[in-house]
A and B are shown apart, each in its own frame.
Chain A
Amino acid sequence: MDRNSKKAWLYLLPSLILLGLFLVYPLIDVFVYSFEECFNFASQTYEGVGLYNYLYVLHDPYFLQAVENTFVLVIITVPVSTGLALLISTGLSSIQPLRNLFQTVYFLPYVTNTLAVGLVFMVLFQKTEYTDGLINLVIQLFGGESIDFINGPHWAKMFVLCFYTVWVVMPFKILVLTSALASVNPDYYKAARVDGTSRTRIFFRITLPMISPMLVYLVITGFIGAFKAYSDAVALFGTDLNAAGMNTIVGYVYDMLYGDSGGYPSYASAAAIILFVIVLTITCINLLVTRKQVRE
């Protein structure tokens, strides 16, 4: 090895050590853990190798509840947030005055602490013995019956979780779509206007196809992000998500690892790997579907 090579490796050394220790080794190790049966954390011993951990996790009612919650969250929030972001960024790019102001405001949720602002949502939706909460006040104003969204029925809790998740993910989507819209060549619009094309037609025939790669990107990252939902739920319902019936898959992993129900890294590993098999499958399906559509 010549002197230059040595120097290069020296520059890379800190990164290599850190990445190896905290990224590559754990990635391999998590598979090892998931197959070690009856792993004892205190003595670091295990009794056999097999699929028991996976079977245990798949039969755990808490895990099944977590899977159900996660899927509902994904199916609701991804289309809603992407559609809403498309609507808002289209509106945003059609105005001139106040545009910067709106953009700044819309980005605020990105830079806030999810856990902290979640408490505000909890206060807004919660019904206590002192007060019905602001949201219930609005519901009553329209003649509805007040509901406790935080400790009440499951669908109400799910609604708050979806609402908060959409609120949190919107800044990123609006930002990406606004810059995608700005990068469409204005000549297309000019040509369409000369031809007297209607606004709706311009939108569906020019704008949408031009930004579709970015939409695909947003849908895929949106799916991945929503499958990993966790801290939003903690912010609204507290750390004991199993008791609230609002756990997510990632929440289940962490609960297995640590906390009152923790101490089972093997179960946690098995659950984490199941999660990523699901995410990988959905991402592949997404890619296949979109590629097929583009070809047609």
Chain B
Amino acid sequence: MGSGPSIDGWFVRLGLILAALVGCGRATPPGALVGETEHFRLFVDPDANVPAGLDGMNGLVALETEWADVHTMLQMPDGKITYYWLSQGHIGAACGEADEGACLWEQSLEIDSPMLPNPHELNHAYMYLREQRKPVPFLAEGIAEAIACGDDQPMYPPDVPWQGIVGQLESSSDQVYIQGGIFVRYLIRTYGIDAFLRYYEQSPEQRDPALFAANFQSFWGTTLDDAWTAIHVLPPGVVPAAAYETKICPCSLPPLDPAGPVTNDPARAPYWPLPNPAGGTLALYGGPSERVQIKDCAGVRPELIGQSVLARLDGTDRRYVLPPLQSATVDAYVADDCASAAPFVLSPLDNTGYLTVAVPNPADAATVYVNLASSFSGVLYGGLDEICGTCGFDQGACQPLAPTARPGVQGPLYGTVTLYRSVTVPTDVVSDEIDIENAGL
């Protein structure tokens, strides 16, 4: 009687075969281990596109910065995420699908991404750390699209029926991402992140529109139809809020220090919350070929953009500014009377340069004064209603500019800017752009 493998032996063999089958088709992504921190293990593909400031251990610092920031909202428990920073050409093989842009392997908590940090995949990982469950893609992709601090643009979502979206796979349509993101952000803004997380973690795991709607109504006490209408439909004449709607930024990182020159460190300061200027005006300059982008932490107000921005904000609504920044200062650059306007040194003119002035939303219209104190010569394309070499506006020494005029102007000069409240855009600040272009261009 021959001696065959024991039962245990057969189980071991079966287990090995199954393990081999499961692992089949996916090789370990390329990349050298950079290091390991409390929450991340980072591998970087030699072919990856690594920008300055995120090389070496800075990549891990950037990931830990992202973790700390988002943790203020998601409160995820500690865990270790393996992050493969790959070249675009290696993503398809790493994710198992040629058209994938990035992916998370939940079981191993591994992210394969051509960018670092990748807020979308990180949000997936954070939610998986909170609770290992599988909400419908509409919600899972929605929360992944909800939180990020960057230059994402509004998506202008169509008012399509939700019934056709909540049951879809994420691969079926971009609407799962777009509408899911807007939906989740609406819930977070309306009810708060804690309530949303409670909802998310009891939500259906079946892609069933009827169940989804019944569960929504059971949890929130309002119908999904009403929520959908609130998101997509506004009174006639009002620009839909979604036209300006972008992702939510925790804004928990240290605020910008308006002390002059700014050190750009994308690993430790991927953005700066704006400091409260306490009645002063925050002057931000991005650099000769850069633009300043000021965004709303809640993601519901239009961004302020300019080569330079003079923002006299009251600080009630939190905003943040994206790098790169060259300088940040606070003074009375935007004043209600000419004599109070502090001198502002205009950045060197080029053919794309413009100065954005922003103040809290006036009742109807407000005129403010700026003192452009540097020497320059250019053509005024708009933004200034009057210009004067002195503060002689009140004496009639300076004439208003015709709306269509494009006069040559020379600095230094004083100018007035009239800001109008829009009836179609719900925002707490009004802004205008002073557009002076180099006369030689």
A, B assembled together: no
